Amino acid sequence: MAFENLLVEKRGAIGIVTLNRPNALNALCQALMDELVAVIDDFENDAAIKVVVLTGSEKAFAAGADIKEMAAKSFIDAYKEDFITRNWERVTKCRKPVIAAVAGYCLGGGCELAMMCDFIVAADTAKFSQPEITIGTMPGAGGTQRLTRLVGKSKAMELCLTGRMIDAAEAEKAGLVARVFPAAELMVEALKIAQKIAEFSGPIAMMVKESVNRAYETTLAEGLRFERRLFHASFATEDQKEGMNAFTDKRKAGFKDR
Ligand code: DAK
């Protein structure tokens, strides 16, 4: 598949998608988001791909939704075309683990897209903000919700109400980012993490992801019940037998994704 706004690569079990609109700091136009849906669909359907890495350029992961494309939109335009919901949420529905590898600007919709991934690893050059208030709007792709769950109400309020930009160190301290690496090592480290996950059982990784995500959406009691059901279900997999037998036999497990 050839794309205008993305670079796509399959490296072993890892699907790498690079946002590629250098002249617009990877601003997330509709065409780019439609392409991203197609890529995630493809990775999801490809049994050889076990982990997805979503990244941008050294200068920008993404400087937000495309302001020039949005500027003239009326309510009825946005409502009728199901703006944002139609394609942006595909990333959140991907069943395979998705890692955002962020360098440079990660602003507005860019930050929201990164937060739709399972976790964010950042270069020490990364800069995060929800600056929508500075252009007369508000976060519209989950910024007020996901950021609040990640960093808590006080910090999310301050960031969304002021549009202040934070660096990678502050983002890590706040819980927005899982790990920070020197910029030159970002992709190497992101791919190492992806590879580590890819070597485990794919279905078990999917269960872990589903269960952690449940923590966002339900009560503790329901979340624990859900976790327990999946934990029990894991004993029906060949990979659970292999993993535990390999431990006993003092050998490396060979998972088969079954
Ligand atoms: N959209 C469109 N073009 C953008 C852009 C963006 N978000 N960000 C940058 N660009 C373009 C610039 O216009 C410029 O294009 P040319 O003028 O060269 O044609 C090119 O990228 C390079 O940008 P700069 O010349 O500005 O580069 P600098 O290094 O000087 O500045 C910057 C970098 C990141 C500080 C600056 O570009 C900037 O402030 N960009 C905008 C950041 C921003 O405000 N982002 C939030 C966008 S709002 C909603 C759902 C979602 C959203 C809203 C509503 N609903 C459901 C209703 C989401 C909204 C957003 O994300």
250-256 long-range Cβ contacts below 8 angstroms, 24+ apart:
255/199, 255/200, 255/201, 255/202, 255/204, 256/201
Kindly give the number of the ligand 1 atom that is closest to the alpha carbon of 68. 2
Residue among 21, 59, 67, 129 whose CB has most ligand 1 atoms within 8 A, to mutate: 67
Question: 49: which 2 tokens?
Answer: 């791909």
Work out the angle at residue 42's Cα, subtended by the Cα atoms of residues 40 and 45, and round it to the nearest 5 degrees: 110
| Percent of the chain predicted with pLDDT > 90 | 91
Residue 86 has what pLDDT?
81
pLDDT tens figures, 216-233? 899 999 999 999 999 999
Which of 136, 138, 177 is closest to 159 using CA atoms?
138
Q: What is the mean pLDDT of residues 233-239?
A: 97
Kindly give the number of the ligand 1 atom that is closest to the alpha carbon of 60. 34
Nearest CA to ligand 1 atom 15: 24
**pTM across the whole model:** 0.95
Which of 228, 128, 132 is closest to 168 using CA atoms?
128
CB 108 less than 6 A from any atom of ligand 1: yes
Nearest CA to ligand 1 atom 10: 24
CB 61 less than 6 A from any atom of ligand 1: no
In the 8-state DSSP scheme, what is residue 71? T
Is-contact 124 183, C-beta < 8 A? yes
Count of CB atoms within 10 A of residue 119's CB? 17
Which of 144, 135, 148, 246 is closest to 200 using CA atoms?
246
CA 253/CA 142 separation, integer angstroms: 39
pLDDT exceeds cutoff 80 at 1: no
Kindly give the number of the ligand 1 atom that is closest to the alpha carbon of 66. 1
Pairing relationship of beta strands 14-19 and 6-11 according to DSSP bridges: antiparallel
Q: Which of 12-21, 80-89, 141-150, 191-200 has the lowest mean pLDDT?
A: 80-89
Residues with a catalytic annotation lie at 65, 109, 112, 132
Confidence of residue 93 (pLDDT cuts 50, 70, 90): very high
CB 138 less than 6 A from any atom of ligand 1: no
Give backbone dihedrals phi and psi of 202, rounded to 5 degrees, phi first: -60, -50
Q: What is the mean pLDDT of residues 145-157?
A: 98
